[in-house]
């Protein structure tokens, strides 16, 4: 069975679909506060077709803090957030995305992978269902752990702004 991930930006929902288009998993997410866009430094969520290029964090404890895709040795707490209020909290698991559309989300100043766009865990107090990230797709830690375990590297990911229903 092959799987694909679809992120529907207008509804802030992530769907994991099988090859018969049956929904295996549906979860609320948070995409970019700045909206959609592909340009480097825009802090926007890139649209279009991607793949999961790498999976990082297998076996890490929930709330493990990552910086530069490496665990820092910290576990996220509200006290840690208060100590480092400017950090972009990347927690628990990382699915690193790579664009597959040259000139749109791959290569040059629009390269999703070089922009370090992930599907990743976020602090439990971060709201889901509303845009609020710096470009990535944030999920609840428990949800990203489930997704991480279900999808292999190479899984297609479509980030969609179409208003159609799933």
The domain ranges of the chain are 3-160
Classified as helix, coil or strand, 79 is helix
Look up residue 56 and give its two tokens: 């990082």
Compute the distance between CA of residue 73 and CA of residue 101 in angstroms, rounded to an integer: 36
Q: What is the pLDDT of residues 43-93, one digit of tens each?
A: 999 999 999 999 999 999 999 999 999 999 999 999 999 999 999 999 999
- Asked if 147 contacts 100 with a C-beta cutoff of 8 angstroms, the reply is no
Look up residue 49 and give its two tokens: 């077709």
pTM comes to 0.95
Classified as helix, coil or strand, 71 is strand
Task: Find the radius of gyration of the CA atoms of the chain.
Answer: 15
Give pLDDT, residue 163. Answer: 67
CATH 2.40.440.10 fits 3-160, yes or no: yes
């Amino acid at each position: 069975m092959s799987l694909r991930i679809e992120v529907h930006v207008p509804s802030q929902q992530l769907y994991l679909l099988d090859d018969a288009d049956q929904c295996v998993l549906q979860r609320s997410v948070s995409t970019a506060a700045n909206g959609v866009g592909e340009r480097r430094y825009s802090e926007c969520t890139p649209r279009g077709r991607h793949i999961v290029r790498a999976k990082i964090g297998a076996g890490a404890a929930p709330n493990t803090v990552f910086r530069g895709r490496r665990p820092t040795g910290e576990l996220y707490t509200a006290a840690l957030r208060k100590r480092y209020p400017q950090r972009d909290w990347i927690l628990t698991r990382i699915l690193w995305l790579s664009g597959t559309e040259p000139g749109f989300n791959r290569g040059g100043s629009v390269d999703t992978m070089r922009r370090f766009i992930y599907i990743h865990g976020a602090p439990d107090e971060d709201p889901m269902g509303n845009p609020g990230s710096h470009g990535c797709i944030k999920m609840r830690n428990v949800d990203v752990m489930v997704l991480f375990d279900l999808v292999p590297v190479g899984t297609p990911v479509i980030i969609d702004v179409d208003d159609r229903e799933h």
